[in-house]
Amino acid sequence: MTSNASFAAPPWEAAAALLRAASRVLLIAHVSPDGDALGSTLALTLALRAQGKHAVPACQDQPHPRFGFLPSVHEIRQALPLGEAFDLIVALDGSDAARMGTIYQPAQHASLPLLVIDHHITNTRFGTVNLVDPSAASTAEIVFALLKRMDAPITPEIANALLTGVVTDTQAFRTSNTTPQTLAVAMELMQLGGNLQEVTRQALVLRTFDSLRLLGAGLMSAKVEDRVAYAALPQKLREELGVREERGDGGLVGMLISAYEVDIAAVFVELPNGEVEVGLRAQPGFDVAQVAFEMGGGGHPAAAGCTLPGPLREAVNRLLPRLKQAAREQR
């Protein structure tokens, strides 16, 4: 999993050269986009447009309404017009090619250079140039460093988009990936016009009342076995509660890992298509990235995920023993 490439210096110059040479750029945020995927994608989109380039942000899944405050978020396309021509693709915050989802069409895109910008330890280096830095708390920090190297002006809008990535991937500077460097980046982004309070409130605090009820039901059904907490959220439960959001766990996995009695937490979310999206969290000293990677997903030691085939019960039965084993071995 951890190839030597993860310790090599990130190829800043090669990445900058690809962007400089391009004039029509497709930017792909990963499926089920989070604040870092969206913030990074939109910040780079705006910076490229300011340089006179044609830049199209895209994502297979529609962004959650909580990200409605992000600049140009409504321009993110869920599908591309047939035959629209690009000369560069940038994949942001995704650790493997599958995370690009249906936006990436090999028949049209395989011949184009692909720039991967990411910070996941499990990144498979699927690009032509892989700007991957697992020491960065967010992909947004990498985009920020790249833009500065390219002397691209950072407008308040771009700063706010980047700050969103930093704030969401660190849960407002609370997670173990937060370093002095992360705080220095956040300080700079605030000085450039990013609004920390507003970003935190919009992207992390505000939620629908429905999602609170989903969280409540999930907490009531959760179990702890061998210091592994887990819960399953069937589509049927969403229907019963009248939850309009088709995906997501309402923050449940983050709640489960907060219990003293828990080393590893897992939430299994049944998707409308029957697949199961799994969110994983680990206490410091435990690692869920490796298990997620083995299951075809990826992530960070403390927060990872994967998507498994249904049905829901089988996904739980398949992963749970593996999680208990990991918790036992790492204790």
**Residue nearer to ligand 5GP on the CB measure, 15 or 257:** 257
Give the HSE-up count for residue 165: Cα atoms under 13 Å, Cβ half-sphere: 32
**Residue nearer to ligand 5GP on the CB measure, 57 or 134:** 134
Regarding 71 and contact with ligand 5GP (CB under 6 A), the answer is: no
Write down the least CB distance from residue 50 to ligand 5GP, Å. Answer: 28
Regarding 277 and contact with Mn ion (CB under 5 A), the answer is: no
**Residue nearer to Mn ion on the CB measure, 164 or 202:** 164
Whole-angstrom CA distances from 303 to 96, 137, 278 are 16, 12, 11
Regarding 66 and contact with ligand 5GP (CB under 6 A), the answer is: no
Cα 49 from Cα 236, distance rounded (Å): 43
C-alpha closest to that of 293 among 134, 60, 177 = 134
Residue 64 CA, chain-centre distance (Å), reads: 13
Subset of 261-320 contacting ligand 5GP (CB under 6 A): 279, 297-300, 303-307
Subset of 172-201 contacting ligand 5GP (CB under 6 A): none
Subset of 112-171 contacting ligand 5GP (CB under 6 A): 120
Cα 261 from Cα 196, distance rounded (Å): 33
Regarding 64 and contact with ligand 5GP (CB under 6 A), the answer is: no
C-alpha closest to that of 188 among 149, 150, 145 = 145
Write down the least CB distance from residue 40 to Mn ion, Å. Answer: 8
Cα 15 from Cα 18, distance rounded (Å): 5
Tokens coding 305: 């995920």
Partner from Mn ion, ligand 5GP, none binding residue 71, C-beta < 5-8 Å depending on class: none
Burial grade of 273 (CB within 10 A; 0-12, 13-18, 19 or more): exposed
Q: Which stretch binds Mn ion (CB under 5 A): 21-29, 166-174, 262-270, 276-284?
A: 166-174
Which one among 133, 169, 249, 277 touches Mn ion, defined by CB under 5 A?
Answer: 169
Whole-angstrom CA distances from 85 to 80, 81, 97, 114, 225 are 10, 10, 20, 14, 52
Q: Which residue has the CB atom at the shortest distance from Mn ion? A: 36
Strand order in the sheet with 24-29: 54-58, 24-29, 88-92, 114-118, 129-132
Subset of 205-234 contacting ligand 5GP (CB under 6 A): none
Regarding 60 and contact with ligand 5GP (CB under 6 A), the answer is: no
Spell out, one character per residue from 78 to 107, where the chain touches ligand 5GP: x when CB under 6 A holds, - when not.
-----------------xx--x--------
Residues at the contact surface with Mn ion, assessed by CB under 5 A? 36, 93, 139, 169
Residues at the contact surface with ligand 5GP, assessed by CB under 6 A? 95-96, 99, 120, 253, 279, 297-300, 303-307
